[in-house]
Amino acid sequence: CCVCGRRGAAVDCCKPRCERSFHLPCALRGLCLTQYFGDCRAFCSRHRPRQAVDRDPEPETHCLLCLEAVGQRKSYRTMVCPACQHAWFHRSCIQAHALHAGSSAFTCMLCRDKELFQAEMLRMGIHIPVRPPSWETLEAFEGLTETHGRCDAAQCLCPEGREHAEEEGPWQLLVCRSCAAEGTHRSCSSLTDSTESWECQGC
């Protein structure tokens, strides 16, 4: 391994005639780069792609994700959006953001460019999972799909308890039509079978 010097380096630099190899866990420490698309090519620190940006960060430029300084010049650990060339961030920060945002929401945080931004990030070794963002998973909205399921009357008359509900009759559970946060059995609020909706006392 060209980074740690130990045996078992299975990742070869794809540059023709380059004989350097490294362990995948050593890539980040050795400033090597692995592309996670197409043929999944890998490059040693000498032959890795560089961003074609003809500028360095302005003085006191901060990473848009962690808000820490990005340094005075572009480097392996400091990257910039290729579209606006004003959004700077650390490699580790943008990688973590890409894993959460997924391919559908991973854009430049400043100019919101997506196509050019993602293409450049992939070329520079950022792994972008092909999926919706983690904050839009079914688990995140699981609580919003549940309806209120108990009788909140001051005195519940149901012999089976407040959580018991039937599809019709005196123990049918009605949910407040305004807030949907409270419910009642028909009998517990003296509602007739013809009553189709109910509103809690708070509403």
In angstroms and rounded to an integer, the radius of gyration of the C-alpha atoms of the chain is 29
- CB atoms < 10 A from the CB of 181, how many? 12
* CA–CA dist 181, 174 (Å, integer): 11
User: Does domain 147-202 bear CATH number 1.10.275.10?
Assistant: no
Residue-wise pLDDT tens digits, 5-45: 999 999 999 999 999 999 999 998 999 999 999 889 999 99
Residue-wise pLDDT tens digits, 175-186: 998 888 899 999
Per-domain residue ranges for the chain?
Answer: 1-48, 51-145, 147-202
Residue 187 phi/psi, 5° resolution?
-65, -30
Do 51-145 and 147-202 have matching folds? yes
* CA–CA dist 17, 62 (Å, integer): 39
Domain boundaries 51-145, corresponding CATH code = 3.30.40
Please list the residues that pair with 166 across neighbouring strands.
172
Query: Tokens 């519940």 label which residue?
Result: 156
Nearest 10 degrees: Cα torsion 163, 169, 170, 171 = 0
What letter does residue 21 receive in the DSSP assignment? Answer: E
pTM value is: 0.65
